Each structure stands twice: as structure tokens, then as C-alpha cells.
Amino acid sequence: MTAGKLQKQLEILAERDRHRLHMPGHKGRGLPLAALDFTEIPGSDNLHDPREIIADVQNDLAGLYGSVSAQLVVGGTTAGNMAALMAGAAPGEAVLVPVNSHRSVFSALALGRIEGRFITPVLDGTLGFPRELTVEQVEAALDRFPEVRGMILTTPTYYGTVSDTAALAECLHRRDKWLIVDEAHGAHLAFCPDYPRDAVASGADVVIQSSHKMLATYTQASLLHCCSRRIDPQRIARFLTMLESSSPSYLLMMAVENGVREAAQSGHTIFEGIAKRWDQTQKRQRAGTKLRLYAPPAAQPYDKSKWLWAVADGSGLAIAKKWRESFGVYCEIETAGYLLALTGMGTRTEDLDALDNAVAACQEPVPEPEACPVDPVPVAARFNQTVPLWQAFYEQRRQQCPLAACAGRIAARSVIPYPPGVPVLLPGDTITREMAGYLAGCLRRGETVIGADKDAGLEVLAV
Ligand SMILES: Cc1ncc(COP(=O)(O)O)c(C=O)c1O
């Protein structure tokens, strides 16, 4: 990978500063990459008030994506989503929030005392997960909640499905509302003409991308784009300063720049190759087999960097174990009903060959595939807000309640099955019998559910 401007500058500083009597404590020695790990000194600029090299790099990155301005984010899309939402809506104001949003969106509602007006996307007809939001759904929600300042949208989803961002942006802008796009899983799209159109090109107002999820950068490195003045970029920057470390990692910032430059150069070739393999795999599929590579309904655009394998007989965990132990293939998500294999800038042909072999080894015929929903949570039962989220979040009178006795109580903290890290209960929600039963089932199967415990149950409001 060729060095970007920030890496070159850090190399100059490393050459110059032979006796570092400034932070960090490694003084450029010992750890891998320590030589390039700097703090704010003359020549390294300051992420929280960029005027020199960081401002220059951010300008270049905005140019590569076609946005008006770009901000390096070292706290991941988690921090980017929170900063954008808190800049876009003041305490007491409302925002349209799809129920499949990432937990950071709900954190922003709590910290910013913003009211969520929830909207349920179209569910996939075969697998049941929230697939996309349509203009009709958003128009109906705007008629019902005209008070919202704007909407946040996740596209592409973890599963590769996309919404028509351009049409949604137009619909929101017509009513003078903003659109923030959580493009955590789509930092590659701008460089791949045969993939779904990216959010910056589609007219979103603010776009946040986890560079680290798809590009060759370090974990936690993200990029936030402003594309209009509907949300003030300076306000977003002020929130980022509050939400992120005052000692942001230069290694992360350097990695974003290098990774984006590389993607702009060769992302097209790499992701085109991945999409071709995805197409070939689809064509080879036979009906009645255990593993099926998911495809959206005909003619819908899809992000083919995501390989979602539905497991017809619910033996996904056993298959994942076999893939790991016999083929060295590790997936992003492993569940009984599906396995999600994610590709990225670093994916090579041999990785996809290994996946092919792993799939072939488990591809038995299944007489009658059972329905194995990706997201079996009763989506409509989610977010039954009785107390405002922020109020329940700050309420000190709380207690543990066993799952069997939870129905009718009010949740005091978020409950989040992992993966994919999307909450199913928010502070302030009345817990339904259905939800308590669903969570008990997850825990019985040994799945990770943050905020729920087999014995202690859930934290609920004591009042
Ligand atoms: C849709 C979505 N948004 C935001 C995030 C958070 O991104 P990051 O890990 O960069 O903080 C994730 C993480 O998985 C995600 O799936």
C-alpha cells in the first residue's frame, strides 16, 4: 500500500524527533509501529482543530468521496453516529429511527435527550430480517410524525441489502428534513460502479462510514462526510470533540487515509472480482440444499461483498465449527440459522476458494427446508416506549427481575443480542411476554445477549 500524506509526515517526524520527551510513553520504541505513533506536536496538527496536515488530508478524502467536507473519526461509526444525531436534534426534539439501527443511535437518543419515533423497515420475505425502508413507509411516518427533524438510515445493512437512498433523501428534503446515513458497511461503494450507489452520491446530508469494516484500515477508524449545511458541520465537530479522546491515535488517522487512497485506486478491481465470484456461486446453487447464498428479490440492488448463507436445517453453529476447524474459515456472524461471511479490500482469491470448499463439504440435500429466520425477534413487538428513553436511562431506582417475571415491567437498560449489536429492548420499553420468551430462548441456546442474564434476568425500573 502506498503511503499517504499523513504517513509521510509522521515518517519525517520520526526521523526528526530522536529524543521524544512528549507522549506517548513508548517514545517511539518497542511496540510495532511505535515510531509513527505521535501526539500533538509541531508538525503533526490536531484532529480537534485541524489546520495543517490533518486539514489537508481531510480535504483530499472529501475529494475522493465527492463530499463537501470529511472528518477523520477515531471512535468508529459509533462516535460518528452519535455526533451527527446530537448535532442534528436538540434535547426534546424528535428523529425518525428505524428499529434495526445500531446501538450508537439509541445511545445518542439517551445522551442527547432526543425523542425517537420508530419505524419498521420491510422484512425480508424468506429470512425475516429488516431489509429496506421504502419511500411509502417514510412518507407515512412523516405524515404521522411531522415534528421530526430528520431520519437516520442504515444502508447497506449488515446483510448487504440496501434502501433507495436517493429517493428517501428527496422525500425528506421536500419536507425540509435531513437524512443521516449510517454507511458503516459501505465505505467501498463509492469506488465500485457495479455496486449499489453510495450515500454521498445519493444526496444524504451526513454520511458515516466505518473505513475499517470494508477497507484496509485499522479497527475503529471511520470517516464522517458532510454533504450539505442542513446539519452544521461545525456542530458535528464540536460533538466529536466531546465524544472522542483528546489524544486521538495518529495510526488510525494514517490508516484511514492510506486505506481510502488504496480503495480509490484498486477497490473497483477487487470488489468487481468478489461480485463475479458471488454471481458464479449463485448460478451454481441447486434447489433443496442445506446452505443457500442469500439474494434479495429480483432486480433489487445488493452489496455482493456480503455473503449471507442461510442454513436450512438450523445446524449453522455446527457448520461454522467445521469451517473453522477443517478449513480455517472464520465468519463475521455465526448463528443456528445463518452464517455471514464478509469480504473486504484484503480478500484474496484463495479466501473465496477456501469458502467454496467449506460450503461444498457441508452441502447436503435437505428434503424440506425449515424456515430459519435470520432475525426471529418479533420486530413489531420492539420499542414499546412507555417512559422516554433518556428518562429511563438516568433513573436511579432500578432492580433486577427474573425473565419469567418481566412481562409488564419497564426496561431500565438496553438489551442487545450479539451479533449484530442491534437492541431489541430500550430503556423505557414495557417488556412484553413475547420479548421475555424470546430472550429466554436466546440465553438457553447459549447466545450472547448484553443486558440479559439467565439467572438475574433483566434490569427494570423499580418504580
Ligand atoms: C450498522 C452499524 N452502524 C454502526 C456500527 C458501529 O461501527 P464502529 O464499529 O465503526 O463503531 C456498526 C458496527 O457493527 C454497525 O453494524
Query: Cα(208)–Cα(222) distance, rounded to whole angstroms?
Result: 7
Atom of ligand 1 at shortest range from CA of 80: 11
User: Side chain identity at 214, as an amino acid letter?
Assistant: M
Whether 77 is in the pocket of ligand 1, judged by its Cβ within 6 Å, is: yes
Query: Cα(141)–Cα(148) distance, rounded to whole angstroms?
Result: 10
Query: Cα(48)–Cα(365) distance, rounded to whole angstroms?
Result: 57
State the distance from the centre of ligand 1 to the C-alpha of 19, rounded, in angstroms: 39
Whether 107 is in the pocket of ligand 1, judged by its Cβ within 6 Å, is: no
Write out pLDDT tens, residues 179-222: 999 999 999 999 999 999 999 999 999 999 999 999 999 999 99
Query: Cα(417)–Cα(430) distance, rounded to whole angstroms?
Result: 18
Q: Which pLDDT score, from 0 to 100, does residue 96 have?
A: 97
Which residues, at least 6 apart from 92, have a Cβ–Cβ distance to it below 8 Å?
113, 114, 115
**What are the φ and ψ backbone dihedral angles of 324, each rounded to 5 degrees?**
-65, -50
Q: Using most ligand atoms within 8 A of CB, pick from 73, 74, 77 the residue to mutate for ligand 1.
A: 77
Question: pLDDT grade, residue 77 (50/70/90)?
Answer: very high
DSSP 132: E
Name the residue with cell 524527533: 17
Whether 130 is in the pocket of ligand 1, judged by its Cβ within 6 Å, is: no
Residues in the chain: 463
Atom of ligand 1 at shortest range from CA of 101: 1
- Find the range with the poorest average confidence among 299-308, 407-416, 443-452: 443-452
The pLDDT of 430-436, averaged and rounded, is 92
Q: How far is CA 371 from CA 48, 127, 338, in A?
A: 50, 8, 11
Q: Which pLDDT score, from 0 to 100, does residue 368 have?
A: 64
User: Does residue 413 surpass a pLDDT of 70?
Assistant: yes
- Cβ proximity of 404 and 393 under 8 Å: no
Write out pLDDT tens, residues 19-49: 999 999 999 999 999 999 999 999 999 999 9
Q: Which pLDDT score, from 0 to 100, does residue 61 have?
A: 98
% of the chain at pLDDT higher than 90: 83
Q: Given phi > 0 = left and psi -120 to 50 = alpha, else beta, which region is 43?
A: left
Whether 222 is in the pocket of ligand 1, judged by its Cβ within 6 Å, is: yes
Whether 4 is in the pocket of ligand 1, judged by its Cβ within 6 Å, is: no
Question: pLDDT grade, residue 369 (50/70/90)?
Answer: low
3 state SS of 203: coil
Enumerate domains of the chain plus CATH numbers.
Answer: 5-263 (3.40.640.10), 275-361 (3.90.1150.10), 379-461 (3.90.100.10)
**What are the φ and ψ backbone dihedral angles of 302, each rounded to 5 degrees?**
-150, 145
Q: Which pLDDT score, from 0 to 100, does residue 170 have?
A: 98
Write out pLDDT tens, residues 229-245: 999 999 999 999 999 99
The three-point CA angle 164-86-249 to 5° equals: 95
Q: Which pLDDT score, from 0 to 100, does residue 42 have?
A: 96
Question: pLDDT grade, residue 342 (50/70/90)?
Answer: very high
Whether 309 is in the pocket of ligand 1, judged by its Cβ within 6 Å, is: no
User: Does residue 125 surpass a pLDDT of 90?
Assistant: no
Q: Which pLDDT score, from 0 to 100, does residue 382 have?
A: 66
**What are the φ and ψ backbone dihedral angles of 433, each rounded to 5 degrees?**
-60, -40
Whether 102 is in the pocket of ligand 1, judged by its Cβ within 6 Å, is: yes
Q: Using most ligand atoms within 8 A of CB, pick from 99, 104, 180 the residue to mutate for ligand 1.
A: 104
Whether 104 is in the pocket of ligand 1, judged by its Cβ within 6 Å, is: yes
- Cβ proximity of 392 and 428 under 8 Å: yes
- Cβ proximity of 227 and 169 under 8 Å: no
Q: How far is CA 220 from CA 8, 9, 215, 357, in A?
A: 22, 22, 12, 32
Q: Which pLDDT score, from 0 to 100, does residue 229 have?
A: 96
State the distance from the centre of ligand 1 to the C-alpha of 45, rounded, in angstroms: 27
Helices (H) and strands (E) in the chain, counts: 13, 18
User: Does residue 2 surpass a pLDDT of 90?
Assistant: no
Q: Which pLDDT score, from 0 to 100, does residue 310 have?
A: 92
User: Does residue 379 surpass a pLDDT of 80?
Assistant: no
User: Does residue 386 surpass a pLDDT of 70?
Assistant: yes
Query: Cα(315)–Cα(338) distance, rounded to whole angstroms?
Result: 9
Which residues, at least 6 apart from 58, have a Cβ–Cβ distance to it below 8 Å?
50, 69, 70, 71, 72
386 CB neighbour count, 10 Å cutoff: 12
User: Does residue 451 surpass a pLDDT of 60?
Assistant: yes
**Between these two residues, 127 and 181, which has the higher pLDDT value?**
181
Quick one: how far is CA 451 from the chain centroid? 20
State the distance from the centre of ligand 1 to the C-alpha of 211, rounded, in angstroms: 10
Q: Which pLDDT score, from 0 to 100, does residue 365 have?
A: 82
Peptide bond into 427 cis (omega under 30): no
Whether 182 is in the pocket of ligand 1, judged by its Cβ within 6 Å, is: yes
The pLDDT of 64-82, averaged and rounded, is 98
Write out pLDDT tens, residues 285-340: 988 889 999 999 988 999 999 999 999 988 999 999 999 999 999 999 988 888 99
3 state SS of 77: helix
- Find the range with the poorest average confidence among 205-209, 268-272, 364-368: 364-368
Question: pLDDT grade, residue 380 (50/70/90)?
Answer: low
User: Does residue 375 surpass a pLDDT of 60?
Assistant: no
Q: Which pLDDT score, from 0 to 100, does residue 91 have?
A: 97
Whether 421 is in the pocket of ligand 1, judged by its Cβ within 6 Å, is: yes
The pLDDT of 356-365, averaged and rounded, is 93
In sequence order, the β-bridge partners of residue 324 are none
